[in-house]
Amino acid sequence: MFRVGLSLIFCLLFTVATAQKKNAQKLFNEANLQLTPEKTIPLLQKAIAKDSSYSEAYLNLAHQYNQKKQYELQIATLATASEKCERKRQLILAQLSKAAYLNADYQTASNAISELNCQNSQELQQLKNCINFSIEAVSHPITFNAVNLGTAINTKYNDYWPSLSIDEKEIVTTVFLQDSNSTLPQEDLFISQKDNNKWRSIRPVSKIINTQENEGAQCLSADGKIMLFTACNRRTGYGACDIYISYKKGNTWTAPRPLPSPINTEYWEGHPCLSADGSQLFFSSDRKGGIGGRDLYVAQINLGKTVQVTSVKNLGIPVNTNKDEISPFIHPDGETLYFSSNGHTGLGRQDIYYSKRDSSGNFASPINFGYPINTNKDEIGLIINAKGNTGYFSCERKDSRQKDIYTFNIPTEVRPVRTTYLKALVKDKENRNLLNANIEVRDLNSSQIIYSATNTHTFVTPLTFGKEYAISISCLRHLFFSERITLKQQTETPFEKEILLAPIRKGEKTTMKNVLFKVNSFEIDTGYTAELDKTLQLINNNPDFHFEIMGHTDNTGSKAYNQQLSEQRAKSVYNYLIQNGADKERLSYKGYGDTQPISDDNKMNRRTELLVK
């Protein structure tokens, strides 16, 4: 009797268990027919109540919580499943480790991944590296204090993608004009100027740029006269999203037009960033032939009246990964690249990284900015001022309404090379009217032209500490202006100048500040001949005038020595100009020794001048 009774009990228990599993499966199937998490979740919970080892129900329930961004419930569900469901425990542990990592529960993620049997896969090894990095980063946070830019810049909507002129007096942002219950999103560009060190209230950039379509993810040129932005699904575009350009003429912007191929393609292109000298455009694209989903590219570009593209190059490994790299920002130092990525070792989702460019133009392995600048959320859209000490980016914090733009002090260990800038306004010396001139700024360390512009009366260009620059400004029927700037010591004050060009007439003269000689010699330093070529051009373009090369020295030597040296140096310049095509009948030279000082600084008195006769 006892044996028969025990068998009957086992049979009944098996029947009940089978019925419960069938009921659980029925609830699970019904849940799969629902269209919203709100209707799906209760059915999955009932299915699990019927069958506590129903792994598929746990996994689906965790997925539903993820869809609702209820990440703690997602983790709790997977943690319970890892204890209840032996059959698919390895899959559940993998899901748990990833979910916990993305929710900044790094210790739970570490515990889960340590129990996995197949840790040799590349994906799991990368996840393990990220978890270990995150635990270490959170344990050793860097100094960081984000300050909300306030209601002058931030709206009640989502504000993001800040861009800044090099003088920090103008900021442009993207505003997502959509309430939480709105169905029609609208991105527009807004701008603000700084007045007495305070930002004015933002206003729409321009009706010419802002349309009923979306405009966003923009950048400004260093002088604030060129705007590049991302626009999608335009009739004038090439593909899904393209990069558009607009020029500022006076107080208005020109009608935007797409940049040409091969920058824009049939694929997605966006997040433009123009180098401070205007010669390179960094952007993100998912075009065919890349390394991952979205890669970073750099284009050699000339943004004149007709945009010219010399080349487009994938930045390659180690910058790009098999995932997404977006929102590049090249600092005015020309060497430090900042960007966001979800493919490098980080704290979860998109983190901010920086990479230094070497003398060959290649970028080094990216370095994570660290915690708490980076978190388990998306950190994107970072820009940094020329000084390298202040950053701007968009995020959600306790004091933000939605996404707001914040500023923060850049930690010393992740700062770029400190730079300043030259900002100039060109005028006629006599009537003080604005003059449209030709501008050239040359890096004397490399002999490369870092900035050039034609037919403009204002310009802004970055200058990097530790370098020496030659500035040349010329205008028809005027004497040229030259200057040499040596940045040996860091300064808080940028170079802002009003440059006066003298009309060509008898008695006017200009100093050739970038014509240099070897020490105690009249031999011209061949590294400084560019200005002699401009002097030759000036002489040849003004055949109605005669010119004299005037040589001057300081007063450190004897009168006789100084007189002889000044005359020899003037003659060297004279000979160079004659040998290269100057009219001998209209050119003369004379040495003045130390008889015409212009400063207490002897360095200023050692000079060569061009006199109109």
Read off the pLDDT of residues 8-32 as tens digits, 9 standing for 90 and up.
444 544 444 566 788 888 888 998 9
Structure confidence at residue 65 (pLDDT):
94
pLDDT at 5 over 60: no
Cis check: omega of the bond before 503, within 30 degrees of 0: no
Q: Give the mean model confidence (pLDDT) for residues 481-501.
A: 84
Pick from 4-13, 357-366, 413-422, 496-505: least confident: 4-13
Confidence category of residue 610, pLDDT binned at 50, 70, 90:
very high
Could you give the CA distance from residue 180 to residue 48 in angstroms, rounded to a whole number?
A: 34
Structure confidence at residue 290 (pLDDT):
95
Structure confidence at residue 280 (pLDDT):
94
pLDDT at 3 over 60: no
Structure confidence at residue 1 (pLDDT):
41
Pick from 93-97, 133-137, 386-390, 413-417: least confident: 413-417
Pick from 226-235, 428-437, 452-461: least confident: 452-461
Q: Where are the alpha helices (DSSP H) in 115-205?
A: 122-139
Confidence category of residue 526, pLDDT binned at 50, 70, 90:
confident
Q: Give the mean model confidence (pLDDT) for residues 422-439.
A: 93
Helices vs. strands in the chain: H and E counts, helices first: 10, 33
Structure confidence at residue 14 (pLDDT):
44
Confidence category of residue 264, pLDDT binned at 50, 70, 90:
very high
Confidence category of residue 490, pLDDT binned at 50, 70, 90:
low
DSSP lists the bridge partners of residue 496 as 423
Structure confidence at residue 16 (pLDDT):
46
3-state secondary structure of 499: strand
pLDDT at 181 over 60: no
3-state secondary structure of 150: coil
Structure confidence at residue 6 (pLDDT):
52
Could you give the CA distance from residue 316 to residue 154 in angstroms, rounded to a whole number?
A: 36
Within 8 A by CB and 6+ apart from 94, the residues are: 112, 113, 116, 124
Structure confidence at residue 12 (pLDDT):
44
DSSP lists the bridge partners of residue 258 as 244
Instruction: For residue range 105-157, list pLDDT tens digits in order.
Output: 999 999 999 998 876 688 889 999 999 999 999 999 998 889 999 999 999 99
Pick from 273-287, 288-302, 516-530, 538-552: least confident: 516-530
Confidence category of residue 401, pLDDT binned at 50, 70, 90:
confident
Both tokens of 473, joined, read 């400004």
Contacts 24+ apart (CB under 8 A), 539-546: 539/577, 539/582, 539/583, 539/586, 539/587, 540/581, 540/582, 540/583, 541/476, 542/477, 542/504, 543/583, 543/586, 545/504, 545/506, 545/586, 545/612, 545/613, 546/586, 546/587, 546/588, 546/612, 546/613
C-alpha separations of 53 from 57, 73, 82, 84, 274 in Å: 9, 18, 10, 5, 56
Instruction: For residue range 371-398, list pLDDT tens digits in order.
Output: 999 999 889 999 999 989 999 998 887 7
pLDDT at 320 over 80: yes
Q: Give the mean model confidence (pLDDT) for residues 149-167.
A: 93
